[in-house]
Amino acid sequence: MSKVEELKAKVLKAQQEADIASLYVLESQAHEVFDEETLHGYYANILDLALERLTETLEAKTQFDISEVQDFATLRALYEYAIEHYHADQKKDAAALFEILSGLSNDKKFSDAMQIHQAAAQSDLSLDQFLEKIADIATTQEQKSFYINAFTKEAQKLLKDSQSKGDN
């Protein structure tokens, strides 16, 4: 069996088992082996599985437990989806996704970070401006987090301004 066929078999098995975490484990191999079109489908499958888990979680009125591997992988996929919207300058959609994410996790640090993301998107900051002025990328990278979880002092001001606008 070739390397491509072997990887496709592993990916298919993970998809059939709705195992988002395994798909992320296979991600670097996928980048080495798959062409651009196949990679696009690969990530679309991860997103489809994450959206299914999102629907199930919302219907059950529960939250994701970030310490549980599948929940962690689902939050990662949904976060990446929200960032894609932000990157595409679809700020309203990104803000709505960040708002949903902030309530989806039982992890306070994640929820608080999503509120800052939401405030940035709602305040019409571009993703580049958010990364330059609000996010502390160096600290986030040190912590090896899948989401931006460290912020400059500007973040608290942004959040406060956003909350005061919401109170009016």
pLDDT digit string (tens) for 91-149? 999 999 999 999 999 999 999 999 999 999 999 899 999 999 999 999 999 999 999 99
Q: What is the pTM of this model?
A: 0.91
Please state, as a whole number, how many other Cβ atoms lie within 10 Å of the Cβ of residue 156.
Answer: 12
Q: Which long-range contacts (CB under 8 A, 24 or more apart) does 55-63 make?
A: 57/104, 63/103, 63/104, 63/105, 63/106
Of the candidates 140, 20, 130, 134, the residue with the CA atom closest to the CA atom of residue 69: 20
Tokens found for residue 63:
């939250």
Looking at residue 2, the DSSP 8-state letter turns out to be -
Per-residue pLDDT tens over the stretch 37-72: 999 999 999 999 999 999 999 999 999 999 999 999
Length of the chain: 168
